[in-house]
Chains A and B, each alone.
Chain A
Amino acid sequence: MTPRTRRTLTVVSLGVSLRVVFLLWAGELELWADEGQYVVQAVALERFGFYLGSPSWVWPPGYPAFLAACLGLFGELGLLAAKLVQIGLSAVIGVSVMVLARRLFSERAALVAGVTWALYMPLIAYTHYLWPETLFLVLLLPAVCLFLSVVGPRGVADGAPWRLALAGALIGGTLYLKEAALPLLVLLPLILVAAGERSMGERVAGAAVLVLGAVVVVLPWTLRNYEVYGRVVPSGSTVGENLWQGVNAHYINWDYGGVGREELVRESRAYVLLARPPKDAQAWPRSTAANTIDRSSESSAAARDFVRAHPGYYLRSRIKKLADWVTPLSFFVRHQRNGMYPGSFGRWPIRIPFVLWSLLATAGVLALGTVGLFASLPRGAPQWTVLAVVATFLASVAVVSMSRYRVQVEPFLIVSAAGLVSAGWPPRGLARTLGLVALGLLIVLWLLNAAEIAAVLKGAL
């Protein structure tokens, strides 16, 4: 075993062990919001053999199927088993983070990134929640690693097609969990075509292999959707419902779920300045079309009309959504605020260092990672690839926002932060200027939400 492999295994083992300890400390968590929905779908699937839909949206079946498999195998301990499987699989995230940092930066950066991942409280917390974020990252990160192994520095010349096919297949796998990665099937092929030294024909063929790899995996579900709805739905259909929630004459941020959510926001300056609907804005109702997909389309049309009628409100409320997306809060802090940890984690004063740890780790990774995106990542295809991933998930703020929609980006921010820390501050130039501007913007967004962040934090402590 090489020292590098030993180092990777040590760091990843530390991360996995911590996640097991924190699972035990968490206690039996009450299911929250979508978690309950996933479990209900899993029970229906496992006990009755059908996929229980929803009248308002279409979720892809991957996560309920995963929970159903755990319930089928382990019965009443199925949900605990699901969390343990998530913890085990999170090792893939740890390894991928280190591989990415090594490929993009250096061995030192890989170590920094690995240790940061191991100790990063928000990602630790998702391994003991029943949301699909952990499994999503388990598929997405290796896909990006494979893609960068073809287009990135020290990219391989041979064996590229299978890497692209596998990367595509993994992205296709993410589409069984969430539809959010769909834009990557446009952005990554574009990067592939634009980058590299091979002939244009080879690059286009490589891009086609990537897309076909994803299509092969997701097509059975797409065809099922076509049969059920009579519409082409590649993965899921949640946009209409999310537009109703996020582009309407009301404001919501699910990071603030629980008692006193409205009070928490109503007095906030950021809400009053940016997100409070104008007096003449009427909330548009949910569509009542018979078909779920048509309902989503009608909701999208209603949202478009709303934006046309209130363009100023839409734009300024997006600033609030962006501030919500980059908040140093996380579901872990929210859960603590709502007293949802029945185990040692939730007891005062034990919870205090963990809440602070989570807040500081998130803030540090966001700040350093954002600077690193512009100032440290290798120019060209590697930087465009990581920026494409960030942009894909950042785009959610056009619709709705909360910290959970940022989780998919956090491992990449850990990697770019590790690159910045290990290589040091970049010399003067455009990259450094862009990094500083991005950091300045981030700080402004934090200050905008400062009152709400402080209130949530006060409740959590």
Chain B
Amino acid sequence: VRGWLILLSVLVLAEVGLFGLWHRDSDELRAAAAEPVSPASLFALHVLANRDDTEPLDLARVRALLESEHAEVREYAMTWDGTRAAGEQLQRAYLEGLEDEGERARCDFYLRHQILRPTLERLRAYLHHSSVPR
């Protein structure tokens, strides 16, 4: 038992040590979280999940958004957690950007109730056609 205790304790210490070495400046990260983010970037991600209409997904638009602002999306994702305000900003931008009243009401409902129902077809279409760099 003693050997196992030593081994596991060393592993725990090693993990904490590695974390300390690679630790990013959390204060800086959290400060970045308070910065405004591009609604377009958020829209690009959410449109994948939240659109629920009979029309095909506008892949070209999504790809353009993602490609032009990929770095920003990544930045946003890393600091997603502290940004409820950004989520609300997304929602406003999303709804204001929708011209069709029916679709606006539908998306508003989905967003408010956090119902995410990407269909398999849409997901497949996206995976099949997407050329977004990883």
Contact = CB atoms under 8 A, between A and B. Distances in A.
A288 B114 CA distance: 16
Contact of B120 (A31, A56, A164): A31
A31 B70 contact: no
Contacts of A40: 45, 48-49, 116, 118
A50 to B, nearest CB: 4
Majority SS at the chain A contact face: helix
Contact of A291 (B48, B81, B119, B134): B81
B5 interface: yes
Contact of A290 (B19, B34, B78, B132): B34
A31 B116 CA distance: 9
B5 A219 contact: no
Given A36-B116, A53-B81, A165-B4, A227 B45 contact: no
B48 A43 contact: yes
B8 A31 contact: no
Nearest to A75: B127
B2 interface: yes
B98 interface: no
B127 A209 contact: no
B83 to A, nearest CB: 7
Interface residues of A, number: 54
Interface in B107-134: 114-120, 123-124, 126-128, 130, 132, 134
Given A30-B117, A216-B15, A52 B5 contact: no
Contacts of B45: 40, 44, 52
A427 interface: no
B12 A292 contact: no
Contact of B82 (A79, A206, A290): A290
Interface in A182-238: 202, 205-206, 208-209, 212-213, 215-216, 219-220, 223, 226-230
Contacts, number: 135
A20 B16 CA distance: 43
B61 interface: no
Interface string B45-89: 100110000000000000000100010011001111111110100
Contacts of A162: 4
A51 interface: yes
B74 A215 contact: no
A55 interface: yes
Contacts of B12: 212, 215-216, 219
Given A76-B127, A76-B128, A202-B1, A223 B16 contact: yes
Given A48-B77, A76-B128, A212-B9, 20 more contacts: A30-B120, A33-B115, A40-B49, A40-B118, A49-B74, A49-B134, A52-B45, A55-B80, A55-B87, A76-B127, A79-B120, A206-B1, A209-B5, A209-B8, A212-B12, A219-B15, A219-B16, A227-B23, A289-B84, A295-B84
- A-B pairs, top 7 by smallest CB distance, nearest first, are A212-B8, A36-B116, A50-B77, A161-B4, A205-B1, A53-B80, A223-B19
